[in-house]
Amino acid sequence: MTKKISIITFLLTVLFISCKKEASESQNTIDTITVTKDTLSAKLKDSITDPDPTDTIPAGQYGINSSNLKTADMVRSTLQNLYKDDLSKNIIDDYSKRFIFFEYDLNDDGKKEILVGLTGPYFCGSGGCTQYILDNQGAVISRFTVADYPVVIDTEKSSSWKNLFIRSGSKNRIVKFDGKKYPSNPSLQPELKVTPGDGLPRALNFVNEPYAWFKF
């Protein structure tokens, strides 16, 4: 009888130790998974490059169509080439050497054009600022003067390109593609008599949305 009790006691002890070991291993696994997940999250957070470290906007809050660093480099190269003479002569002040952009497919060909907005006393006056539309390779399609922000993109088209509503001289203007480009002076275009719909895309809307300002 005593021998049976000893055997039972031994088996219970082995079972208890085994269960305790499995519980410990399970907890270690959970802890490892938690640490790995936290580490991965931290690495992902650190891997997001802030396109504009000069402001207080977190890197992850910029729009995908206005913060791509490859696009920014391409726009920068185009602007540096366009204004190379004035840049070499230091005519353009530092504040004016800044730009924002917004990528959008204006002609539904599957390739996004790049709307570029400039700022500062070199590019802006009382009626608005200089803006560009580039193709997806950085070539100039259109250049606007006296154009204010934002640029509203309409659903209606002219010559297969979407019409734009650009504010110029305190009025919204209807700017239509003529088959080769958009007209350069929005203030000479027909006035839009109604307020653009809230559902329409607004490009270069840095007043109401987080935009990264890049330098060239």
Encode pLDDT of 25-79 as tens digits: 555 444 444 444 554 444 444 456 888 888 889 988 999 999 999 999 999 999 9
Q: How far is CA 66 from CA 52, 95, 195, in A?
A: 11, 19, 24
Q: Looking at the predicted structure, is the pLDDT value of residue 6 above 80?
A: no
In this prediction, residues 133-145 reach a mean pLDDT of 99
Mean pLDDT of the chain: 86
How are strands ordered across the β-sheet holding 161-168? Answer: 171-175, 161-168, 151-158, 202-203
146: left (phi over 0), alpha (psi -120 to 50) or beta: left
Spatial CA neighbour of 150 closest among 94, 109, 195, 97 = 195
How is residue 29 annotated by DSSP? H
* 141 within 8 A of 133, measured Cβ to Cβ: yes
Predicted confidence band of residue 19 (pLDDT cuts 50, 70, 90): very low
Bigger pLDDT: 114 vs 44: 114
Q: What is the pLDDT of residue 25?
A: 52
Q: Against a cut of 0.85, is the pTM above it?
A: no
Paired with 27 in beta bridges are: none
Q: Looking at the predicted structure, is the pLDDT value of residue 17 above 80?
A: no
Spatial CA neighbour of 208 closest among 54, 92, 66, 93 = 66
> Rounded CA gap, 120 and 197, in Å?
29
Tokens found for residue 157: 């088209």
